[in-house]
């Protein structure tokens, strides 16, 4: 299913502009991540797509050829994984997963076979009779995912699905989630504030700030060609060099740097891996820290010229 948002915005009753008019298209089977710091509007955007939040007048949300803008969440056929999972404490794992199917009034046979299928996909066979309170964080996350996909939604929405887990588990489950989402072959949008998560899971990442999408592209595009200081700083933590521009050179305390194009500003962002340490370089620096990181060293240096 293709998702298309045009002119979609949200102003809260207290006047806060949570989302400025936004355009977004997500193609069939694509996994898009909404990435940004807290308060950037990413969760609001997700909730508008889900139908949990109404958008301002003039907004349009299309699921293929259906205009769903005014449709409530229960009729949009979206699967949703919440940050807190929102599993029903009064139901077992099996009943949680089967709830959406029961609402659809499927036959008991159909419900059973679908539950079994989803349980297997998410490797939850051994836990089907358990109460939600008896599950670990990772298992809960998988149940939430299984429950969301069991009714075969048109679109899967995930709101910070990994943030409730502890750091050690997060990386494993991140890769697991990336594999599962591709197995489901479903159009998915997921919200995160963690750039590693976004890069690892998504086909395309939409970087958001102050209620709008600053840039959208593949992880590599964002990393190689950020369109703003914000994206450069947020994705991959590029180094920021502030100096005086002469037009084709940037003059810094420790020397100068050739600029790639004329008329560039005085703010330059450089990726650490693009820096080569060389005795005859044009920029001097004093090494302050060296950290061994297994596959590489991280060298921290201050741009200045102690010798010259």
Partner 1 sequence: MLKSKTKILQLFVTLTACAFLFVPMILSLLAGVTSNYFKGVSSGLTLKWVFKVWELYADSIFLSMGLAFACLIVTLIIGLPAAYGLARHPGWLSRLLEEFISLPLAIPGLAIALALLQLYGSLKGFRISWTFILVGHVLYTLPFMVRSILAVLASMDLKTLEEGAASLGASSWQRFRDIVVPNAMPGILAGALTVVTLSIGEFNITWMLHTPYLKTLPVGLADSYASMRLEIASAYTLVFFILIVPLLMAMQWASARAQRITL
Interface residues toward partner 1, by CB under 8 A: 50, 52, 72-75, 77-80, 82, 84, 86-92, 94-95, 99-100, 103-104, 129, 131, 147-148, 151
Contact 21, 44 (CB under 8 A): no
Q: 111 and 101 in contact (C-beta within 8 Å)?
A: yes
Half-sphere exposure of 165 (CA within 13 A, CB side): 22
CB-nearer residue toward partner 1: 10 or 94: 94
By beta-carbon proximity to partner 1, the closer residue of 86 and 305 is 86
CB 256 within 8 A of CB 249: yes
Could you tell me the smallest distance in angstroms from the CB atom of residue 153 to partner 1?
8
224 vs 216: CA distance, rounded Å? 13
Shortest Cβ distance from residue 97 to partner 1 (Å)?
A: 10
The nearer residue to partner 1, 143 or 257, going by C-beta atoms, is: 143
Q: How far is the CB of 146 from partner 1 (least distance, A)?
A: 12
Reduced to 3 states, what is the DSSP secondary structure of residue 21?
A: strand
For the bound state, the minimum distance from the C-beta of residue 288 to partner 1, rounded and expressed in Å, comes to 46
| Tokens describing residue 297 | 């060293």
Are the C-beta atoms of 34 and 190 separated by less than 8 Å?
A: yes
Residues 6+ apart with CB under 8 A from 64: 1, 2, 154
- 94 or 114: CB nearest partner 1: 94
Q: For residues 130 and 204, which CB has a smaller minimum distance to partner 1 in the complex?
A: 130
- Taking the complex as a whole, the smallest distance from the CB of residue 216 to partner 1 amounts, in Å, to 25
């Amino acid at each position: 299913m293709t998702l298309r948002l045009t002119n979609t915005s949200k102003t809260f009753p207290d006047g806060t502009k949570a989302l400025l008019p936004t355009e977004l298209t997500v193609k069939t089977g694509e996994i898009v991540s909404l990435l940004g710091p807290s308060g950037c509007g990413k969760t609001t955007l997700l909730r508008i797509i889900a139908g949990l939040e109404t958008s301002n007048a003039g907004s349009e949300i299309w699921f293929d050829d259906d205009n769903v803008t005014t449709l409530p969440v229960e009729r949009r056929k979206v699967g949703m994984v919440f940050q807190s999972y929102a599993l029903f404490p009064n139901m077992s794992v099996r009943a949680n997963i089967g709830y959406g199917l029961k609402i659809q009034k499927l036959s008991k046979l159909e419900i059973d076979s679908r539950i079994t299928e989803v349980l297997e996909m998410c490797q939850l066979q051994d836990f089907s009779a358990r109460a939600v309170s008896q599950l670990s964080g990772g298992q809960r996350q998988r149940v939430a995912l299984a429950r969301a996909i069991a009714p075969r939604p048109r679109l899967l929405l995930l709101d910070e699905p990994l943030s409730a887990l502890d750091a050690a588990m997060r990386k494993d489950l991140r890769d697991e989630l990336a594999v599962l989402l591709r197995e489901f072959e479903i159009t998915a949008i997921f919200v995160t504030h963690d750039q590693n998560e976004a890069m690892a899971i998504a086909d395309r990442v939409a970087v958001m700030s102050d209620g709008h999408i600053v840039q959208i592209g593949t992880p590599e595009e964002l990393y190689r060609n950020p369109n703003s200081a914000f994206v450069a700083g947020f994705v991959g933590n590029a180094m920021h060099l502030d100096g005086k521009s002469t037009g084709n050179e940037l003059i810094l305390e420790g020397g100068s740097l050739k600029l790639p194009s004329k008329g560039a500003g005085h703010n330059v962002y450089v990726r650490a891996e693009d820096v080569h340490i060389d005795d005859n370089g044009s920029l001097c620096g004093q090494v302050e820290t060296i950290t061994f990181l297994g596959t590489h060293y991280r060298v921290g240096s201050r741009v200045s010229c102690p010798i010259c």
